[in-house]
């Protein structure tokens, strides 16, 4: 990467208040973007990837100040645009443009596409209408349409053609940076390939830097030089594209990559299965935010369980934390014909069903862990919920729940926010009280 990045984002946050009552009292915050940092070099394409709801699009609108950031710095050519007033912000917008996910909704149906593409020129002071038209007609031809498209309206074009027009509008001011939010997600595969090829050619011609936001990792691999992976408002891994795809370090990145469809039947059932709860951005979990779903959560040193066993035990423990009513299980077993009445359902059957519901083996591979789990399940069956919760929490808590991982360098020269990537870290057993 260049020593002087075009764009440097530092600790960017965008929180939305949760209000209640007629006085709109703030009772919480949705932490859509919660402290992300990354750089984009001149001419580079950075991919920003993650599941829907992870904060990718909010990051895009915040870094262009289409939404006001809650906190952080956005340095563009060394200037912090968060501090810009209206005049400076207008000048910045001339150099940084956005492509929206749905081109149909981003065009005014009452304006011809030529007028829509030319509008930024008028806003930024070009009064000569004939000159604006010449520039737009030339740009429409560059993106694969005819100059005659200038006088047609958005409803006359296909989805792929509208995305070409959206690209033309993003480029009409000759910007240095384009933020593309899912620019090909709504298109057929063949049209996607055309738009991606067009973006590559125009990037080379115009010397663009691009922030490419997508959930489609196949597209990201074709387009991006580097990739930043987001989860629940945070960046959990940053790497150059080929390194990320060949040697991912964060468990969430591995899960995303395993979800890419492949035509190879021999790879069937090789995907990484995520279990557990998807947290709310209004109440993210402590420690590593991915620990409620992570298949590689670090287990206490006192136990030596198979990793899949440990994940299922942790799922059960987290569910007990929210509350488990053994009477509901008894009712279910009556409906299944286990006994005529809930009172006649054997305790052993309730315990067996509880394990089955969370895919916990009927006997764990580690005898010490089995003793703890059996005691906790017995307490649950007897209605002693607090005792069960205390037993599970005392023995089965993880360092991943307590310590928040920072984005650190890995042996592969990439960065990842995971306690497992730090091989020199000493993992202490959980407290016993």
Residues 230 and 340 in one domain: no
Contact 52, 101 (CB under 8 A): no
In a domain, 266, yes or no: no
Identify which of 123, 142, 144 has the alpha carbon closest to the alpha carbon of residue 132: 123
**C-alpha torsion sign, points 192, 142, 64, 106:** negative
129-142 vs 113-123: helix axis angle to the nearest 10?
120
Q: Output the six-digit token pair for 397.
A: 């808590």
The answer to whether the CB of 46 falls within 8 A of the CB of 228 is yes
Task: Indicate if the pLDDT at residue 207 is higher than 80.
Answer: yes
**242 and 367 assigned to the same domain:** no
Domain boundary among 234, 258, 282: 258
| pLDDT surpassing 70 at residue 431 | no
- Lowest average pLDDT, out of 45-59, 126-140, 255-269, 321-335, goes to 255-269
Per-residue pLDDT, averaged over 192-218, amounts to 89
> In terms of residue numbers, what domain contains 249?
7-258
Report residue 119's pLDDT band, with 50, 70 and 90 as the boundaries: very high
Longest dimension (CA), the chain: 87
Tokens of 327: 């009477």
Q: Note the pLDDT of residue 235.
A: 96
Q: How much is the pLDDT for 411?
A: 79
312 and 254 in one domain? no
Instruction: Please report, for residues 110, 136, 162, 182, 284, the alpha-carbon distance to residue 151 in angstroms, rounded to integers and kept in the order given.
Output: 11, 11, 14, 27, 50
Residue 428, pLDDT > 80, answer no
For residue 400, give Cα distances in angstroms to 3, 24, 70, 86, 279.
34, 36, 27, 44, 15
Per-residue pLDDT tens for 291-312? 999 999 999 999 999 999 999 9
Length of the chain: 433
Per-residue pLDDT band at 68 (split at 50, 70, 90): very high
Last residue within a domain, chosen from 242, 258, 274: 258
**Same domain for 254 and 313:** no
pLDDT at 426: 38
Alpha helices in 36-105 (DSSP H): 56-63, 86-95
Q: Indicate if the pLDDT at residue 116 is higher than 80.
A: yes
- Please check whether residues 138 and 31 belong to one and the same domain: yes
Same domain, 375 and 231: no
What pLDDT is attached to residue 427?
A: 39
Give φ, ψ of 20 to 5 degrees: -145, 140
Q: What is the pLDDT of residue 92?
A: 94
Residue written as tokens 């066993």?
Answer: 309
Residues 316 and 213 in one domain: no
Question: Residue 375 burial by CB count (10 A; 0-12/13-18/19+): exposed, middle or buried?
Answer: middle
Query: Based on the domain organization, do 122 and 11 belong to the same domain?
Result: yes
Closest CA to 33 of 4, 2, 74, 87: 74
Query: Which residues, other chains included, contact 286 with Cβ-Cβ below 8 Å and sequence gap of 6+?
Result: 401, 402, 404
Residue 1 has pLDDT above 70, yes or no: no
Is residue 361 in a domain?
Answer: yes
Per cent of the chain over pLDDT 90 is 65
Domain total of the chain: 2
Give CA–CA dist 279/256, Å, rounded.
Answer: 17
Q: What is the mean pLDDT of residues 50-61?
A: 91
H/E segment holding residue 182? none
Residue 424 has pLDDT above 60, yes or no: no
Give the helix, strand, coil percentages of the chain, each rounded to 5. 40, 15, 40
Residue 425 lies in a domain: no
Q: What is the pLDDT of residues 344-356, one digit of tens each?
A: 999 999 999 999 9
Q: How far is CA 211 from CA 40, 178, 185, 268, in A?
A: 8, 6, 15, 33
Residue 422 has a pLDDT of 62
Q: Residue 293's pLDDT is what?
A: 92
The pLDDT mean for the chain works out to 89
CATH of residue 61's domain is 3.40.50.300
Question: Are the C-beta atoms of residues 213 and 38 closer than 8 Å to each other?
Answer: no
How many Cβ atoms are within 10 Å of 122's Cβ, its own excluded? 13
258-286 pLDDT tens trace: 887 766 555 555 667 787 677 888 889 99
β 226-231/45-49 pair status: parallel
Q: Is residue 84 part of a domain?
A: yes
Are residues 205 and 132 both part of a single domain? yes
Average pLDDT rounded to a whole number, residues 165-175: 92
Determine which of 17-31, 68-82, 226-240, 302-316 has the lowest per-residue pLDDT on average: 17-31
Q: Distance (Å, rounded) from C-alpha 35 to C-alpha 9?
A: 9
Name the range with the highest mean pLDDT among 66-75, 95-104, 190-199, 255-264.
Answer: 66-75
Assigned domain for 432 exists = no
| Cβ neighbours for 63, distance < 8 A, ≥ 6 positions apart | 7, 9, 12, 69, 74, 179, 211
pLDDT of amino acid 53: 87
Residue 23 DSSP label: T
In a domain, 225, yes or no: yes
DSSP-H helix ranges across 336-366: 347-357
Which residues are bridge partners to 415 per DSSP? Answer: 238, 409
- The answer to whether residue 294 sits within a structural domain is no
Classify strands 226-231 and 234-240 as parallel, antiparallel or unpaired. antiparallel
* Global confidence as pTM: 0.87
Residues 28 and 116 in one domain: yes
**Whether residue 56 sits in one domain with residue 197:** yes
Question: Is residue 163 included in any domain, yes or no?
Answer: yes
Q: What whole-number distance in Å separates Cα of residue 290 and Cα of residue 278? A: 9
Place of tokens 């645009």: 81
Q: What is the pLDDT of residues 390-413, one digit of tens each?
A: 999 999 999 999 999 999 888 778
320 with 189, same domain: the answer is no
d(CA 169, CA 163): 10
């Amino acid at each position: 990467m260049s020593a002087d990045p075009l764009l440097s984002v530092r600790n960017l946050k965008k929180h939305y208040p949760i209000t209640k009552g007629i006085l709109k009292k703030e009772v919480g915050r949705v932490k859509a973007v919660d402290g992300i940092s990354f750089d984009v070099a001149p001419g580079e394409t950075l991919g920003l990837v993650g599941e829907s709801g992870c904060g990718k699009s909010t990051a895009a609108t915040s870094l262009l100040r289409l939404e006001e950031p809650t906190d952080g710095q956005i340095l563009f050519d060394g200037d912090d645009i968060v501090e810009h007033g209206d005049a400076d912000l207008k000048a910045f917008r001339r150099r940084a443009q956005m492509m929206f996910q749905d081109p149909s909704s981003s065009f005014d149906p009452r304006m011809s596409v030529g007028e829509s593409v030319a509008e930024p020129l008028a806003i930024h002071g070009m009064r000569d209408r004939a000159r604006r038209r010449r520039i737009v007609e030339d740009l429409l031809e560059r993106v694969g349409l005819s100059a005659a498209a200038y006088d047609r309206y958005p409803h006359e074009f296909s989805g792929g053609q509208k995305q070409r027009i959206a690209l033309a509008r993003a480029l009409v001011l000759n910007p240095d940076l384009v933020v593309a939010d899912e620019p090909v997600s709504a298109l057929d595969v063949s049209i996607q390939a055309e738009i991606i090829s067009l973006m590559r050619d125009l990037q080379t011609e115009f010397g663009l830097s691009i922030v490419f936001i997508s959930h489609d990792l196949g597209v990201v691999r074709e387009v991006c030089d580097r990739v930043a992976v987001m989860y629940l408002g945070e960046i959990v891994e940053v790497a150059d594209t080929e390194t990320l795809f060949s040697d991912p370090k964060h468990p969430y990145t591995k899960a995303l990559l395993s979800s890419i469809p492949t035509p190879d039947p021999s790879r069937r059932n090789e995907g990484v299965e995520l279990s557990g709860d998807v947290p709310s951005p209004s109440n993210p979990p402590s420690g590593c935010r991915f620990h409620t779903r992570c298949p590689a959560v670090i287990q206490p040193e006192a136990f030596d369980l198979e990793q899949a066993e440990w994940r299922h035990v942790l799922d059960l423990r987290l569910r007990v934390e929210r509350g488990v009513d053994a009477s509901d299980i008894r009712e279910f077993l009556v409906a299944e014909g286990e006994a005529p009445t809930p009172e006649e359902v054997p305790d052993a059957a309730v315990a067996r069903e509880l394990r089955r519901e969370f895919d916990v083996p009927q006997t764990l591979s580690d005898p010490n862990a089995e003793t703890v789990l059996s005691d906790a399940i017995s307490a649950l069956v007897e209605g002693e919920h607090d005792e069960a919760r205390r037993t599970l929490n005392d023995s089965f808590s993880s360092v991943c729940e307590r310590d928040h991982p920072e984005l650190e360098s890995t042996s592969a020269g990439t960065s990842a926010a995971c306690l497992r990537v730090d091989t020199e870290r000493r993992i202490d057993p959980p407290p016993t009280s």
